[in-house]
């Protein structure tokens, strides 16, 4: 099946620093990638949708200047958390949409655990 990777899987940083998370679709081209965040014992909340070569579309309440998304190629999207604060600590999951059996299906990465001290 389709594989989506994320790097790093876990990151700890100091408050005020920036952190970049990479999301790659390994065996398919993803014109659309999604970024979610998940707080403990809660569901996934969509942060933004990114299409290759264009600006990301952010969900209401998500600061686009704080969560920078770049989707430079059909296999790579990055999320940069700028000037991170402890409240940004969360589990970030990316998803890439590709064709499977003729149907668009979202495949999820393994997630990145961000802890801001």
Which residues contribute to the site for another protein (CB under 8 A)? 1, 4, 6, 34, 41-44, 46, 49, 91, 93, 95, 101, 103-111, 113
Please list, in sequence order, all residues whose beta carbon lies within 8 angstroms of the beta carbon of residue 63, skipping any fewer than 6 positions away: none
C-alpha distances in Å from residue 82, one per residue of 15, 43, 63, 98 = 10, 24, 10, 29
Judged by beta carbon, residue 81 or residue 94, the one nearer another protein is 94
Q: How far is the CB of 107 from another protein (least distance, A)?
A: 7
Judged by beta carbon, residue 59 or residue 83, the one nearer another protein is 59
Distance of CA 101 to the CA centre of its chain: 25
Judged by beta carbon, residue 80 or residue 106, the one nearer another protein is 106
The token pair at 94 is 């990316």
Q: How far is the CB of 24 from another protein (least distance, A)?
A: 13
The token pair at 51 is 């299409």
Go through the chain and tell me how many residues it has.
117
Q: How far is the CB of 59 from another protein (least distance, A)?
A: 9
Q: How far is the CB of 43 from another protein (least distance, A)?
A: 5
């Amino acid at each position: 099946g389709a594989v989506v990777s994320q790097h790093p899987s876990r990151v700890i940083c100091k408050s005020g620093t920036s952190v970049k998370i990479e999301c790659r679709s390994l065996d398919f081209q993803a014109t659309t990638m999604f970024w979610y965040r998940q707080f403990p014992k809660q569901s996934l909340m969509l942060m933004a949708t990114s299409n290759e070569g264009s600006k990301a579309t952010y969900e209401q309440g998500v600061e686009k200047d704080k969560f920078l998304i770049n989707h430079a190629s059909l296999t790579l999207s990055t999320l940069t958390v700028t000037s991170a604060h402890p409240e940004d600590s969360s589990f970030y999951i990316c998803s890439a949409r590709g064709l499977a059996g003729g149907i668009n299906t979202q495949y999820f990465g393994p997630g990145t655990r961000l802890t801001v001290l």
